[in-house]
Each structure stands twice: as C-alpha cells, then as structure tokens.
Chain A
Amino acid sequence: GENVEQHPSTLSVQEGDSAVIKCTYSDSASNYFPWYKQELGKGPQLIIDIRSNVGEKKDQRIAVTLNKTAKHFSLHITETQPEDSAVYFCAATVTFSSGSARQLTFGSGTQLTVLP
C-alpha cells in the first residue's frame, strides 16, 4: 500500500518568514495530493491540493509543488502569520488491493509555530 512520510514533525519560524513542509510518497500510481490544516480543537480542513498533471499550484500565500519523478511534494507558506500556527497534514491517494476504490493516506503531521 501507499506510504507517506512527512518532515519535519515540528517547525518554528519567525513571523514574516517562510515555512516549508515536505512529503514523500511510495506509490507511483498516486495522482491526488491534498494538504490539510488542523487548528487546536478542530478537525483538519483542506487548504490546497494538487493533481499529478501539474507541478505547482498557488493560492495567495500558500503554494504546493509536486515532483512526480522523485515522488515528493511540498507545502510552502510565505509571509507567515501567527494564525498560520497549526498542525499540517499532507496526504496522497491510494488504490485498494482489490482496485475498486481509493482512499487517502496521510502523513504524520507537522506542528508549525509562528513566533511573533
């Protein structure tokens, strides 16, 4: 099955600096890669996603890059603000052994702290 590794597990940055979180996946068939942000006391919320037919996607201060050859993708947050502090999860699609369905495999999470 799919395996997604996420690094680092914790990340502290100064307000205004950039933050980068990296993930690698094992299944070359994976073709959808969402990123989630989980604030304290809440469930994860989708913040950006990318499909395997593009290499980069941006949404204001957030961007995601995908390298299919190397099987890794990254989340970039520029001009970080204290409200960016949260746990971030990457994920990738997988196919069941029966081939009948897909589900997301999540990375282990990154606790981002933006210091004022």
Chain B
Amino acid sequence: EADIYQTPRYLVIGTGKKITLECSQTMGHDKMYWYQQDPGMELHLIHYSYGVNSTEKGDLSSESTVSRIRTEHFPLTLESARPSHTSQYLCASRGQGVGTQYFGPGTRLLVL
C-alpha cells in the first residue's frame, strides 16, 4: 500500500482566501503530480515535479502554484481562491523507472 498523504481532506473557504493543499509521501519517490478531478470524473494534470526544485505545469491551465523544496513534500497553493476552483485535488507520486503512480486520498475543496 502506498504511503501518500493529503491534508486537509475537506476544505470550505470564502472567495479571496489563500489556501495551501498539502501532499507528502514517505516512499522517496522523485516524481510527484497534482490532478484536478471534475464532477465528470476525468483527471486533469495541473502540475508535476521530477525532483527537488523542479516543477512544471500540466495539461490543464491552473491558477495554482506548487513548490518542491523537499523530496517528500509537494504543496499546492491558491493565492486567491474563487468558486471556479471548487473541485477535488488529487496528489500522486511515482518512483524511478516505474510507470505506476500512487495516489493520495484527495482534497475536496469548496469555495463559496
């Protein structure tokens, strides 16, 4: 079983607030990912990192930002949340030379 954690699991905030979604993994994986999952189920890659100090934007444009200062930690930040940011955010990681991604439990965000 994968050891990848996300906090908070649920978050309800008002428009304009700054929020940080936490993601951490204890497997020493160098690759980490953030996905946004809409109500229609589809997974959209918004950010990824291939190691410390490496971050890239994904296929879906997002107003969020990420950082990778430590291997095990990959937080996602929204500087000013809006109702359009309401979604589920999934974090994942992958080890070297392996195709499998391991997912965290997700953070369900509601912006009022």
Contact = CB atoms under 8 A, between A and B. Distances in A.
Interface of A: 32, 34, 36, 41-46, 49, 87, 89, 93, 101-104, 106, 108-109, 111
B90 interface: yes
Nearest to B44: A106
Interface residues of B, number: 19
Interface in B26-57: 33, 40-43, 45, 48, 50
B101 interface: yes
A65 to B, nearest CB: 18
A89 B50 CA distance: 23
Given A43-B104, A109-B40, 8 more contacts: A34-B99, A41-B105, A41-B106, A42-B106, A104-B99, A106-B42, A109-B42, A109-B43
Contacts of A46: 100-102
Given A43-B90, A44-B90, A108 B103 contact: no
Interface of B: 6, 33, 40-43, 45, 48, 50, 90, 92, 99-106
Nearest to A44: B103
A70 B28 CA distance: 37
Contacts of A111: 41
17 contacts: A42-B105, A43-B92, A43-B106, A45-B103, A46-B101, A46-B102, A49-B99, A89-B43, A101-B50, A102-B99, A103-B33, A103-B45, A108-B40, A108-B42, A109-B40, A109-B41, A109-B42
